[in-house]
Amino acid sequence: MHFNAKERECIATLWGKASGHVEALGAEALNRLFKSCPSTKTYFSKMNLEAGSADLKQQGTKILNAIGLASHHLDDMDNALSDLSDLHAFHLRVDPGNFDLLCHNILVVLAIHFPGEFTPAAHAAFDKFLASVSVTLCSKYR
């Protein structure tokens, strides 16, 4: 996916705000995902999914750090996320429809915490960016 200069600027600005809070934002996004779409919990059967749990914080941190990595590799996402694509496609076999649900909840959390930066343009750019991350993570399904 191609990102123009304005989109790159929006993604960098929003990620710049979020990057210092990966644990809290990631855990909140997951908590919202599990509350709004309970079927997604089935993939995390071994974890304590209560709001505020250490598992939620740890998993949320991992997800947001991967998104941070992707934000620095907009033109090279396939390579940067290759191992994660293998994991989700071959080992976890997460149904691809779940990615949209998680991305939606990540956007909601960013909008709540950074309303000043979450302009319509930033919303569109970050949505496109997360869709690109999802497509990349689903690219090895067959």
What does the binding site for ligand HEM look like in residue numbers (CB under 6 A)?
A: 40, 43-44, 46, 62-63, 66-67, 84, 87-88, 92, 94, 98-99, 102-103, 133-134, 137
Q: In terms of CB distance, is 5 or 103 closer to ligand HEM? A: 103
Please state the closest distance from residue 2 (CB atom) to ligand HEM, in A.
20
Q: Angle at CA 110, nearest 5°, toward 131 and 78?
A: 30
Indicate the Cα dihedral angle 76, 139, 61, 52, nearest 10°.
160
Taking the complex as a whole, the smallest distance from the CB of residue 82 to ligand HEM amounts, in Å, to: 12
Q: How many C-alpha atoms does 124 have within 13 Å on its Cβ side?
A: 7
- 22 is written with which tokens? 């990966």
Q: For residues 138 and 24, is the Cβ–Cβ distance under 8 A?
A: no
- Closer residue to ligand HEM, CB minimum distance, 49 or 116: 49
Q: Specify the residue, 86 or 116, whose C-beta has the smaller distance to ligand HEM.
A: 86
- Residue 88 C-beta: closest distance to ligand HEM, Å: 6
